[in-house]
Structure 1
């Protein structure tokens, strides 16, 4: 995630560093949801002193809203007569605005750090640098092009909504799973501050991340479409482990993007390969 946020402390209140700094308050479910929104978006929420690792089950809920906002912008743009490509770019802009480009920043930093450094320490140092290198710039261009190109092929408004909500929810659920499976890379940074997520919490996040698929798409299609992004996420997790020996905030943001992009590409590829309308997947 954005290392500048960690260094400035502007978006990470002191109490968020641990329960010893502030007694958690508020209803646990709502407090966790509010914490997830504070951590993963720019949407104003009250702060309840909850640990990020405890609130990680609610990450997909943030993804649902972000995806719904993006889909709403896409649908409105097409209604106003804009082309699919322009609608897709505007939808991505809307999600970037809501999240403060948090995950795109991580994606760019990972590209620079993973392939620009020859040791764990050097990679982490590059990722903390606010400047964008050649790898990072190229990664951002490819990121936007892949997402916009895939989204532009979806014309059914309900399908757009289901796919974007599912992709964003599953991407954030994958973050929770990695926070449970891998230790932080280093003693500072977001991952170290957040703490390790308990596996039951991560499994709740995974179920929530898969929920939109199972609710709107037939089981046979939903299982395959969800499996491919999850496999891509596992592959990226292995790269993360090889490059850093663990996880950090930027890597979690990049993971979210990898899963989101893979979801879009899978929906498009399977529909085109099988030769039927993507809207046929929607449960009537």
Structure 2
């Protein structure tokens, strides 16, 4: 009898581990350019079901970008240039998915006079003035924060902050997907679906746990509260101007949360 129970327990654990692995690979395939085997079960998973793993995708992205930044710093590259190299690798790994969303939302939300026109602008592949300026400012702020961390606390602290920002930025997305309706019936966000409350909570919990572990309890708590406020504010703007969320809205929120986390991490460093 005990042997049968152990067999059932092992089968149960194996099944859930396989499902979790498939979810993680599904999230990686969607949010990055990292290779996922063509025959993997991940490609058959619904993205809404894999949403809980979104913050975990930030871990390899942050690790890779931080490694490039730390290596550049070790080779004597100026801190600002090292930070920009790390951000460049991050954009390469993700295909600049979230940066593209930020630019499109800025162009659409502030470039159109009504909801239909705003959504049409966001579908346009061309970048406008709001989007271009927004990307420059966003990248500049992130690079300045990382350079400040490198100079004030070392490349390791900047690396940890970059990982935290990448994880929390992606961890905020399921909550927006769950709580905010779609602005249009077609498109990336509509295709992804709406994750349930349990998966949304798991994603949020991973981000909440990551912040104090990577930034320290003080900066971590402040960063978590401000990141939640920023995500909620942008979700409100999306509902007001667009009628709901789209893939571009999710990208913009991810970038805004990353910036918030990095600003908090940099502000926590004692001035030299």
More helix by share: 2
The within-5 A match list for 1:130-279 is: 130-155=125-150, 156-271=154-269, 275=270
CA distance in 1 between counterparts of 2:80 and 2:159 reads 16
Name the count of aligned residue pairs. 250
Deviates more, 1:149-158 or 1:253-262: 149-158
1:30 aligns with 2:21: yes
CA displacement, residues 192-226 of structure 1 (integer Å, 9 cap, x when unaligned): 11111101101100111122223244433321122
- Post-superposition offset of 1:231: 1.2
Distance between the aligned counterparts of 2:116 and 2:53, measured in 1?
A: 32
Aligned equivalents of 1:263 and 1:229: distance in 2?
7
After superposition, what is the alpha-carbon deviation per residue over 1:224-255, rounded to whole angstroms, capped at 9, x for unaligned? 12211221111111111111111000000010
Bigger Rg, structure 1 or 2:
2
Q: Equivalent residue for 2:121?
A: 126
Are residue 78 (structure 1) and residue 58 (structure 2) matched? no
CA distance change for structure 1 residues 160 and 60 in 2, over 3 Å: closer, same or farther?
Answer: same
SS at match of 2:77: coil
Partners of 1:259 and 1:252 lie apart in 2 by 11
SS in 1 for 2:50: helix
TM-score by length of 1: 0.84
Say whether 1:44 aligns with 2:38.
Answer: no
2:100 alignment partner in structure 1: 105
- The secondary structure found in structure 1 opposite 2:73 is helix
Q: Which runs of 5+ in 1 are unaligned?
A: 1-25, 278-284
What 5-or-longer segments of structure 2 have no aligned partner? 1-16
8 Å contact kept, 1:167–1:260: yes
Give the conservation status (yes or no) of the 8 Å contact 1:162–1:212. no
Aligned equivalents of 2:78 and 2:68: distance in 1? 13
Name the counterpart of 2:6: none
Runs of 4 or more off by more than 6 Å in structure 1?
A: none
In the alignment, what sits opposite 1:68?
A: 63
Q: Deviations over 1:128-163 (max 9, x none)?
A: 110111111111111111111111101223212221
TM-score (norm 2): 0.88
RMSD: 1.6
